[in-house]
Amino acid sequence: MSNYKPQEFAEMIGVSVKTLQRWDKEGKLKAYRTPTDRRYYTHKQYVDYMGDGNSKHGKTVIYTRVSTYNQKDDLQNQVEFLKQYANAKGIIVDEIFEDIGSGLNYNRKKWNKLIEDCMLGLIKTVIVAHKDRFVRFGYEWFERFLKSDGVEIIVVNNEKASPEQELVNDLISIIHVFSCRIYGLKKYKKQIEGDEEIAKELQDRNKPNVRTETNN
C-alpha cells in the first residue's frame, strides 16, 4: 500500500496542510511518523476518511495518460473528450486521474493509486479513451483482474487519443532494453573468459567423465 506526504494527502481528501496539522494535534486524524519524525499518511487512512459510502457503491472515474510533459494539451483533450462522453451517457464522474508516463511503466503514480482503489472496492467503473491509455501491453489481463474485483473498464476507442509516435517511442524503449541486456550478457561472458580460475572451472565441468576400470 502507498504512503503519502502531508501535501499529497491534503490534496487527495480536499483539505489544507494546516488542517491536517490541526487534526493531527487534536487526534482527529493522526499522522504516522518516520524514524526522522517526518509525518506521512497511509492509503488505509485515505479509505477510512472517504467513508463507507464509496466502499459500498464505488466511484466512476476517468483515467487519462500521456507519455511526456510536452503532451499536456493532449492530456486535457482526453479529459474533455471523456467528460463529454460521460455527460452524453448520463454518467456521473466522481474523480479524474491524469497521468504522465509511458504505457510500459507500471510504476505510474496515479495508475497505481487507481489499481489500489479498485482492489479496495472504492471504484466500480473506469472510463478510458483507448486501451493503450490504460496500459500499452497486457490490457486484457488487467481487464480480467479488475473485473474479479467488480470493476468495469469502459473503452471509448477514441483513436486520436492514441498517437502513433507514442507507440514508436515505446517500441524503441523495448528494443533499447533488450539491446542493453544483450550487451550486458556479452560483457559478462568476456569477463568470465578473462578470469582464468572461472574459465578453468568451466572447462573441468565440460570434460567428459572417463572412468578407467581395472580388472583384478
Interior/surface letters 3-21, b for 16+ CB within 10 angstroms, e for the rest: ebebebbbebeeeeeeebe
Interatomic CA distance for residues 79 and 63, integer angstroms: 8
Report the range out of 45-54, 173-182, 196-205 with the highest average pLDDT: 45-54
- Catalytic option among 67, 102, 162, 173: 67
Confidence of residue 55 (pLDDT cuts 50, 70, 90): very low
From the candidate CATH numbers 1.10.10.60, 1.10.1660.10, 3.30.830.10, 2.60.40.420, the one assigned to the domain spanning 1-50: 1.10.1660.10
User: How many CA atoms lie within 13 Å of 14's alpha carbon, on the beta-carbon side?
Assistant: 3
CATH architecture of 51-162: 3-Layer(aba) Sandwich (3.40)
- Convert the pLDDT of each residue in 87-102 to its tens digit: 999 999 999 999 998 8
Q: At what angle do helices 17-26 and 6-13 cross, to 10 degrees?
A: 100
HEC sequence for 55-124 = HHHCEEEEEEEECCHHHHHHHHHHHHHHHHHHHHHCCCCCEEEEEECCCCCCCCHHHHHHHHHHHCCCEE
What pLDDT was estimated at residue 160? 62
The answer to whether 128 and 156 are in contact (CB under 8 A) is: yes
Amino acid identity for residue 109 in this structure: K
Instruction: Please indicate whether residue 67 is annotated as part of the active site.
Output: yes
User: pTM for the full model?
Assistant: 0.57
- The residue extents of the domains of the chain are 1-50, 51-162, 164-202
The pLDDT score that the predictor gives to residue 88 is 94
pLDDT, mean over the chain: 80
pLDDT of 196 strictly over 80? no
